[in-house]
């Protein structure tokens, strides 16, 4: 079983926790417990951003910022499972990795200005905010969507739907994600597994705060 619990604030390191039954789903039978643990938070965030808010459909042009991160790496795979064209930003070292996930175009954010290279996107998933979010409006076609998981949009642009999304725990959507994993449409991406002790948790936070983690960091109870 796996789940994203409700009402735990910004998170918890509890070994056991009470969870409502409707928020729980059977974990995919073709992945490890560590891989399963990496899915609910990032997976539900990506799913609800693209499917619930942006209403993604086949042949949509989707731009995902920071594709190598926990949300971005799953969002790329979800978007491809719907038959979308996917562009993303990342450092040069992550280009081949993101192409292996299905990204059609990878822009090196350290060298290139995405807003000068691309246009006419149906959906932008903003995982960075600030100036990057502001520039993202320039690449969206009329009738398109910008969804941010960082903060409320700093501006409103006529003809573009935009908003901030914070995930809601949802067992049914975990079932959807589980089916995609079982069918080989999505694979969990784990940067590192650390032990459930003071040193391990400290290491996880240091890595996370560096903001250059590929996929997710998992804390394992041993």
Q: Confidence class of residue 15 from pLDDT cuts 50, 70 and 90?
A: confident
Please, what are the domains in the chain?
A: 2-40+168-220 (3.90.180.10), 42-164 (3.40.50.720)
Task: Tell me the per-residue pLDDT of 148-191, one tens digit each, with 9 for 90 and over.
Answer: 999 999 999 999 999 999 999 999 999 999 999 999 999 999 99
Is pLDDT at 16 greater than 90 in this prediction? no
Residue 8's pLDDT band, with cuts at 50, 70 and 90, is confident
Residue-wise pLDDT tens digits, 28-56? 999 999 999 999 999 999 999 999 999 99
| pLDDT for 134 | 97
69-91 CB burial, b ≥16 within 10 A, e <16:
bbbbbbbbbbbbbbebbbbbbbe
Whole-angstrom CA distances from 71 to 18, 108, 159 are: 25, 18, 26
pLDDT digits (tens, 9 = 90+) for 68-95: 999 999 999 999 999 999 999 999 999 9
């Amino acid at each position: 079983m796996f789940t994203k619990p409700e009402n735990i604030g910004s998170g918890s390191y509890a070994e056991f926790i009470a969870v409502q039954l409707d928020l729980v789903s059977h974990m995919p039978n073709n992945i490890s417990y560590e891989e399963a643990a990496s899915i609910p938070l990032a997976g539900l965030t990506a799913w609800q951003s693209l499917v619930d808010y942006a209403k993604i459909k086949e042949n949509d042009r989707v731009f995902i910022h920071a594709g190598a991160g926990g949300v971005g790496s799953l969002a790329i795979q979800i978007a491809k499972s719907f038959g979308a064209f996917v562009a993303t930003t990342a450092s040069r070292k992550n280009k081949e990795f993101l192409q292996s996930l299905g990204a059609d175009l990878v822009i090196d954010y350290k060298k290139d200005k995405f807003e000068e290279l691309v246009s006419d996107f149906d959906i932008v998933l903003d995982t960075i905010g600030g100036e990057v979010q502001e520039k993202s409006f320039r690449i969206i076609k009329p009738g398109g969507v910008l969804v941010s998981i960082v903060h409320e949009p700093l501006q409103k642009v006529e003809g573009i739907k935009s908003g901030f999304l914070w995930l809601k725990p949802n067992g049914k959507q975990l079932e959807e994600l589980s089916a995609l994993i079982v069918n080989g449409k999505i694979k969990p991406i784990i940067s590192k597994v650390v032990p459930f002790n003071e040193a391990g948790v400290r290491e996880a936070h240091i890595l996370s705060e560096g903001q250059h983690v590929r996929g997710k960091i998992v804390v394992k109870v041993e």
